Amino acid sequence: MRHLKILEYALSSLWRRKYKNMAIILVYAFTIAVLASILFLTHALKTEASFLLAEAPELVVQRVSAGRHELIPLEYGDRIRKIPGVAEVHPRFWGYYYDALVEANYTLLEANADHTPLEMLDGHLPAAPGECAIGSGVAAVRKIGPGDDLILVDSTNMGIVFEVTGVFRSPSDLLTNDLVILDRADLIEFFGTPPDLATDISVRVNNPKEINTIAEKIKRQMPDSRPISRSEILRTYAAVFNWRSGMMLSVFAAALVAFCILAWDKATGISAEEKREIGILKAVGWETSDILELKFWEGMAVSLTSLLLGLLAAYVHVFFLGATVLTPVIKGWSVLFPTFRLIPFIDPYQILVIGFLTVPPYVASTVIPSWKAAITDPETAMRG
């Protein structure tokens, strides 16, 4: 009960100096919002990446030549198929295409090798040469739909006309936004791929425990191949995003330090009126420990309000405004990437991390000033 009364007094005393406290809360909330935006954005991107890879093949085999990714002979696929435990082998054909008209990058993919579930918004996937289906991002940026034509420039600098037969999207926008699906023969001709080569080979494995063994066998039989398992891709994404967000957090730590200096300054610059107030409290029987508790509750109220405001602001910034300020740094992919919406997702862990990053520094920088206020001698304080 006593603690509640002190809390009540703390809240009313904060309210009496609302402008001063509002300034602190605003700056504090802004700092938290910046840090929380970074965490929310990376977390959303990580979730997005795991959605994207949920349907990916267990193993992708690339060929590496002179340390670079090369086209892989189709014959490799036949050799992989013979390894016990391999369920399915598919040579894949895909590539990137830069559209100078709208300054965006597309991913061009053959029609039948696609394993991800595509939700058709309209129309169907290409069934014959000369047809294509496009992701909703491409449809939006080119302002086309089923029945329209998509003109792309091929490797011989010839404009090729494809008829759009469908528009699709999938659970993860990141995956399909920039996708253009073509018939396999069209795609091979478009990129000028030599006849017995594919971009890479996807391998399905029946027993997930055998993936590493199979990868090892592929590597041993075809030393110039580079098998990559899905779990490795996921781990790499996670590590890269963690590293990026950690990097950004370290950069913005400067903002946190600046805020702590402000908090220290504000807490030290205690007004004469406030001093008198503490003096009177002590004169009417408050003990030093009570004043310290009062200051503790004040700090708590300020911290929690700011934390809540900061998290809200970060949520709005990341999930409603698309993290406009941060995306180029964190995403770090092509700047020509079409915009996409992130799936709102918050984890209690993120909130704990943010709380742990921001509250202790504030508390540490206000503890000495509040002690100084608490030990004020009532007599000198009231005399002014």
Residue 28 carries which side chain, given as an amino acid letter?
Answer: Y
- Minimum CB–partner distance for residue 177 and another protein (Å): 24
CB 19 to another protein: min, Å: 27
Q: Distance between CA 379 and CA 269 in Å, rounded? A: 20
Shortest distance, position 245 Cβ to another protein, whole Å:
5
Least distance in angstroms from the C-beta of 254 to another protein? 13
How is residue 160 written in tokens? 């090729």
Smallest separation, CB 238 to another protein (Å):
6
Question: Quick one: 23 or 247, whose CB is closer to another protein?
Answer: 247
Q: Which is nearer to another protein, 134 or 326 (CB)?
A: 326
In terms of CB distance, is 50 or 305 closer to another protein?
50
> Which residue from 39, 29, 28, 31 is spatially nearest to 255, judged by alpha carbons?
31
Tokens representing residue 33 in the block: 């919002």
| Length of the chain (residues) | 384
CB 129 within 8 A of CB 160: no
Torsional sign, CA 245, 247, 249, 252:
negative
Would you tell me which residues interact with another protein (CB under 8 A)? Answer: 38-39, 42, 64, 67, 212-213, 215-216, 219, 226-229, 231-236, 238-240, 242-243, 245-247, 249-250, 253, 288-289, 292, 296, 349, 352-354, 356-357, 360-361, 363-364, 367-368, 370-371, 374-375
Please report, as a single letter, which amino acid is at residue 261: I
CA 100 to chain centre: 28
Q: In this complex, which beta carbon is closest to another protein, that of residue 101 or of residue 352?
A: 352
Question: Distance (Å, rounded) from C-alpha 90 to C-alpha 320?
Answer: 39
Between 100 and 254, whose beta carbon lies closer to another protein? 254
Residues facing 131 on adjacent strands: 163
CB of 109 to another protein, least distance (A): 22
Shortest distance, CB of residue 352 to another protein, whole angstroms? 6
H or E stretch including 167? Answer: strand 159-169
Closer residue to another protein (CB): 128 or 375: 375
Is 145 in contact with 167 (CB distance < 8 Å)? Answer: yes
Question: Directed axis angle between helix 2-16 and helix 18-54, to 10°?
Answer: 100
The enclosing H or E element of 332 equals: none
Cβ proximity to another protein: between 17 and 219 the closer is 219
